[in-house]
Amino acid sequence: MVRVSSSLCMTAALAGVFAAASTQQASAANFKCYGINYNIRAGPDWAPDATKCKNADQIAKELTKLKTITDTIRLYSLTDCNQGTTVVPAAIKAGLKVSLGLWVGPEASTFAAEKAKFQEILAQDGLINSKDIVGIHVGSEAVYRGDVNTTVAISNFNEIKKLCTEKGLDIPVTIADIGDIYMQYPELIEAVDVVSANAFPFWEKIDADKAVDYFYQRYQPLEAAAKAKGKEVLIGETGWASAGVHSGASVATPENAALYFHGFYNLAKEHNLKYYYFAGFDEEWKIATSQANATVEAYFGIFKADGDMKSEYASLTFDGSSSLDSDVEVAASSSSSSAAGAGSITESATANSSGETTSADGADDNSSIATTDGTDSTTTDATANGTDVDTNDDSTTTADAAAAYPTGGDSTETDASTTSNEDASQTSPSSGSTGKKRKDCEA
């Protein structure tokens, strides 16, 4: 009785909210995001470039679409699908600013190739400048995944920072990871120009109507730690899937995706947060690389894979409040509480630089600013380019970090979802951060 009642309530409440979008093609938006994560992957790692990567025409069309909702995009790799020489010039031509990404994996050769590509495009007159390039992310959750330890992460950062300095470029450089990693290893905060943390209440199984408050509760300790070092915080990724299932995630529906986006967007405006929303477009190709009960990674886009804006986003209006009207909140809450996506998968999603995840695909789902994993998700024995290195010497323990940086949720439930979804190792860049331990560069 209760489930039927909740379902009917949700249907009735949302009918009016999304009615306008159903009568016209969803193509316009009443919002402008600080930034959007963008991926040009169209297929898995093993596919030939012709089918693995979007072509120049597709990229140009998508960048034009993104320009309607943001002025800045974030990339995850310069080498994957040759983004350094394909996307960067096209984005600048489309009037977009770019935050570059250099993927870092367990093999030293991965970063070496990214650095070489950076040097190549750095040598092109005018392409890399402080006006069009607004940031550089060296790695994405590489420490969290255990691909490298903090010593290697900072060394990689310093190499890229040095190249920028030698060119006289005033571009902030950072290391993208989850908040727990920054809290456990304060040397990262000390090293970077700006703290870049990924945050997904979605991957901590937080109900959609509570997710924005939860996000901000978890954000504040990190912000305080960063401010103490004179640094600001940039949210590298956050978002909510609009479809698909995953046992280790919250309920993915259009209503929940809209509810979270609406609340987060207003929160960001109220507190002047800088962020890159995940993601620009759905990545339906990921369905083929996902298990049947772990398909949410394909549906984080604001735009559908065909380029049309999803109606749940196009129909949103913003009045400055951090939530939708009460009816929609109730509806979304009911939807969140339903058992959609009840699977038994507990293995993590692995993703490449393209965003492809080999098991439970997706963006780094591990990343709700501070994870609530019961296991040591911060990789006590992180591997530094393949060699086991103990990164816990003289460092705060995971338990200590948790005490100083409260998760704010039921750790017994989120532990399983947060950790298990990120177990897989990632070695190449393929998608954003929804599927915890991805294997590729997130895009």
Is 301 contained in some domain? yes
Give the pair of three-digit tokens for residue 293.
């009960």
- How many domains does one find in the chain? 1
0.85 exceeded by pTM: no
- Residue 431, in any domain of the structure: no
The answer to the question of residue 214 being in a domain is: yes
Amino acid sitting at position 429: P
Which CATH number goes with the domain that contains 287? 3.20.20.80
Rounded Cα distance between 264 and 321, Å, is 10
Q: What is the pLDDT along the chain (443 residues), one digit of tens a residue?
A: 222 233 333 333 343 444 334 333 444 578 999 999 999 999 998 899 899 999 999 999 999 999 999 999 999 999 999 999 999 999 999 999 999 999 999 999 999 999 999 999 999 988 999 999 999 999 999 999 999 999 999 999 999 999 999 999 999 999 999 999 999 999 999 999 999 999 999 999 999 999 999 999 999 999 999 999 999 999 999 999 999 999 999 999 999 999 999 999 999 999 999 999 999 999 999 998 888 889 999 999 999 999 999 999 999 998 755 444 433 333 343 344 333 332 222 223 334 444 433 332 334 444 445 433 333 333 333 333 333 333 333 333 333 333 332 223 333 233 333 333 333 333 456 544 434 433 333 33
Determine, yes or no, domain membership for 125: yes
| 379 within a domain of the structure (yes/no) | no
Counting Cβ atoms within 10 Å, is residue 51 exposed (0-12), middle (13-18) or buried (19+)? Answer: exposed
Report the SS3 class of residue 192. Answer: coil
Q: Does the residue 181 lie in any domain?
A: yes
Give the residue numbers spanning the domain of 329: 2-18+30-337
73: alpha, beta or left? (left if phi > 0; alpha if psi -120 to 50): beta
CA–CA separation, 188 and 120 (whole Å): 27
Nearest one of 381, 375, 407 to 395, comparing CA atoms: 381
| Integer CA distances (angstroms), 204 to 228, 370, 412, in order | 28, 10, 11
d(CA 222, CA 405): 8
Measure the CA–CA gap between 132 and 154, rounded to whole angstroms: 25
User: What is the structure's pLDDT at 346?
Assistant: 25
Give domain status of residue 282, yes or no: yes
* pLDDT for res 369: 52
Give every CB contact of residue 342 below 8 A, 6+ residues apart in sequence: 245, 247
Classify residue 422: in a domain, yes or no: no
pLDDT of amino acid 430: 57
